[in-house]
C-alpha cells in the first residue's frame, strides 16, 4: 500500500464524542453505539499540500480536532471485533477540522453534520504509519498545539469505543474497502482557530503535522 493511501480513499468515517474526558467534562452519558458521521473525499489533503488549511467564507472560525486515523487494508463486511484488526493496513495522524458554529446549530435540530465537516482542506492526514511502527494503537498519545500552546493531550487508551469496535460497528452498515479511513475521535480540548493561527499535532513522537490557517480567498 502506498504512503499516499489517501489518493485512493473512497470513504472517510468519523466517530464523534469518543473520548472519556469529554463525557466527564459535560456530565454526558456514554452513547449506546458509536456516533458516526461522514466526510467527503474532497476534504482530504496531505501534510505537505502547501501546509495550509483554509477557513471557508461561510465560517468565521473552524475547530481543530487531532485524531488517530485507521486505514483499512482489505474489503470487509459484518466483521466481529475479534476479527477487525486483521483488516487494518496501518494508521495515520489526522485533523478533523470542523465548522463548529454549523454543528452547534444543526445538532439540536437533528440535522446532518456534513456541511460543517466536509469543507475543502478539512481532513489533513499524515503519511501511512505501518502497524510495526505503532505497536500499540490502543495506547498512543494524541496531542495538538495552537500557536505553540498545548490544547489537546490524551491517549487512545481513553477511547470510549475502541478501534475494533468502530470497525465492527461500521461494517454492519456498509462494506469497508481498501484505503477507507476511520477517524477515531478527538480528545477534549478542541477549539477554534482563525486566519493567522498555526496548528501542530502529533501521535506521540511517531509523526507530526503543522498547518497554517488562512481565510479562503
pLDDT in tens, 119-151: 999 999 999 999 999 989 999 999 999 999 999
C-alpha cell recorded at residue 134: 505503532
pTM of the model: 0.95
Using alpha carbons, list the distances in angstroms from residue 203 to 6, 168, 195: 18, 24, 25
Which tens digit of pLDDT belongs to each residue from 168-217? 999 999 999 999 999 999 999 999 999 999 999 999 999 999 999 999 98
Taking the C-alpha atoms of residue 36 and residue 86, their distance in angstroms, rounded to an integer, is: 22
**Residue 97 maps to which CATH number?**
3.90.850.10
Which tens digit of pLDDT belongs to each residue from 30-82? 899 999 999 999 999 998 766 899 999 999 889 999 999 999 999 999 999 99
Taking the C-alpha atoms of residue 200 and residue 1, their distance in angstroms, rounded to an integer, is: 26
Taking the C-alpha atoms of residue 87 and residue 177, their distance in angstroms, rounded to an integer, is: 9
Taking the C-alpha atoms of residue 52 and residue 208, their distance in angstroms, rounded to an integer, is: 15
Taking the C-alpha atoms of residue 18 and residue 22, their distance in angstroms, rounded to an integer, is: 8
Tell me what pLDDT residue 49 has.
66
- Pairing verdict, β 52-55 and 44-46: unpaired
C-alpha cell recorded at residue 27: 456530565
User: How many domains is the chain built from?
Assistant: 1
Q: Which domain holds residue 111?
A: 5-215
Nearest to 179 by CA among 69, 84, 78, 93: 69
Amino acid at each position: 500500500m502506498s504512503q499516499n493511501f489517501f489518493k485512493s480513499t473512497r470513504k472517510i468515517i468519523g466517530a464523534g464524542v469518543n473520548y472519556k474526558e469529554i463525557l466527564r467534562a459535560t456530565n454526558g452519558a456514554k452513547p449506546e453505539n458509536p456516533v458516526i458521521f461522514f466526510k467527503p473525499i474532497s476534504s482530504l489533503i496531505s501534510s505537505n499540500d502547501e501546509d495550509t488549511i483554509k477557513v471557508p467564507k461561510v465560517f468565521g472560525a473552524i475547530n481543530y480536532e487531532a485524531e488517530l486515523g485507521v486505514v483499512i487494508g482489505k474489503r470487509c463486511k459484518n466483521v466481529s471485533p475479534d476479527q477487525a484488526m486483521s483488516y487494518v493496513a496501518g494508521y495515520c495522524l489526522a485533523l478533523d477540522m470542523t465548522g463548529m458554529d454549523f454543528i452547534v446549530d444543526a445538532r439540536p435540530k437533528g440535522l446532518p453534520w456534513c456541511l460543517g465537516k466536509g469543507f475543502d482542506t478539512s481532513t489533513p492526514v499524515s503519511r501511512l504509519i505501518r502497524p510495526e511502527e505503532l505497536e500499540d494503537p490502543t495506547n498512543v498519545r494524541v496531542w495538538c498545539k495552537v500557536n505553540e500552546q498545548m490544547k489537546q493531550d490524551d491517549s487512545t487508551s481513553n477511547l470510549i469505543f475502541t478501534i475494533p469496535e468502530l470497525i465492527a460497528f461500521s461494517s454492519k452498515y456498509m462494506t469497508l474497502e481498501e484505503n477507507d479511513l476511520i477517524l477515531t475521535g478527538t480528545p477534549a480540548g478542541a477549539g477554534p482557530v482563525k486566519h493567522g493561527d498555526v496548528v501542530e499535532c502529533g501521535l506521540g513522537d511517531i509523526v507530526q503535522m503543522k498547518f497554517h490557517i488562512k481565510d479562503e480567498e
